[in-house]
Amino acid sequence: MASNGVNGEIPEDANEHCPGPQSESAGKADACAGCPNQEVCATAPKDPDPDLVSIAERMATVKRKILVLSGKGGVGKSTFSAQLSFALAEADRQVGLLDIDICGPSIPKMLGLEGHDVHQSNLGWSPVYVESNSNLGVMSIGFMLRHPDDAVIWRGPRKNGLIKQFVKDVYWAELDYLVVDAPPGTSDEHISIVQFLKSSGIDGAIIVTTPQQVALIDVRKEISFCRKVGIKVLGVVENMSGLKQHLSDLKFSRVSESGSETDVTEWALNLIREKAPELLDTFACSEIFDSSQGGAQKMCLEMGVPFLGKVPMDPQLCRAAEEGRSCFEDKSCSVSALALKGIIEKLIALE
């Protein structure tokens, strides 16, 4: 692992999940088995990574660093990261949002920044700033792709190298918050960001999940990961906690015995207007995921971590994410925005 590495960099012929030639587990970890550099890594002296000093200097202007994690994909983690960043910026905080989901960078779209490029100055790489709020800067590999449909097919060493560049070379200036949106699970990206930022201090992690047990199984692993690497769990957010929307926004249909479907929305809404118009001001609620075993709140109690709150599945929030805008800018996302606001107020109270 170290035969062709320079200054502690992970060489190109390293195994996937390489811990790095300067790691204490270099040459000894399970991921090292069969690597052509295994013997060299296991016996070579471990010098301090000089880049860690540069990273610490770069991060000295960042007051708080928060990781946003999830056990599984598809739980709305990146949507939460985007809306958390919008909310903090709208609360007059200087915010940086770092997208380290190298293979699935969705943050540029969720902040309305698709098509932007990364620029470089004598101070380093410049974040891309949200046009509607200059308090919010973003960095993502999504800005470096020639086309948004391009796949990033990288093994661990290349991903780790780019993450190091993000934290070493991006000039954030003075930040109140650096929000790091990580990919699902506990893989190379998570190990790298912890290794690179730990010397400058990580304030904690927020874990996003959905209520069902099949998602919570992986959240327990995420909590275990945080404990092993010494990161405080700031709390767990239960996202998509039931569908909640105005009754007037629902669609109604009839399904025949043969399975054919007929839209009867206009008839149903007219009937409601005629017979019970007050219902049009109510919300329709439905449980999408099974939470009969207590959901994230019960799991938090069992594992001794804070429960930050529930965010319902709100079609208007999904639309805001698709359009790359804040859900707090108008009243269309009233259901989800109110829940998110309560969670974010808890985080701000920790300052």
Residue 252: CB atoms within 10 Å: 14
Residue 73 annotated in ligand binding: yes
Long-range contact list for 267-273, CB < 8 A, 24+ apart? 272/247
Q: Is 75 annotated as a binding residue?
A: yes
Answer yes or no: is 168 a known binding residue: no
Q: Does the annotation list 27 as a binding residue?
A: no
What DSSP line would sit under 90-108, residue for residue?
HTT--EEEEE--TTS--HH
Is 18 among the annotated ligand-binding positions?
Answer: yes
Query: What amino acid is encoded at 94 in this protein?
Result: Q
Confirm or deny that 327 is annotated as ligand binding.
Answer: no
Is 161 known as a binding-site position? no
Residue 28 among known ligand-binding residues: no
CA nearest neighbour of 311 among 292, 299, 298, 327:
327
Number of H helices, E strands in the chain: 11, 13
**What does 53-122 look like in DSSP terms, one character per residue?**
HHHHHHHTTEEEEEEEEESSSSSSHHHHHHHHHHHHHHTT--EEEEE--TTS--HHHHTT-TT---EEET
Binding positions are 18, 32, 35, 41, 71-78
Binding positions for ATP are 71-78
Binding positions for [4Fe-4S] cluster are 18, 32, 35, 41
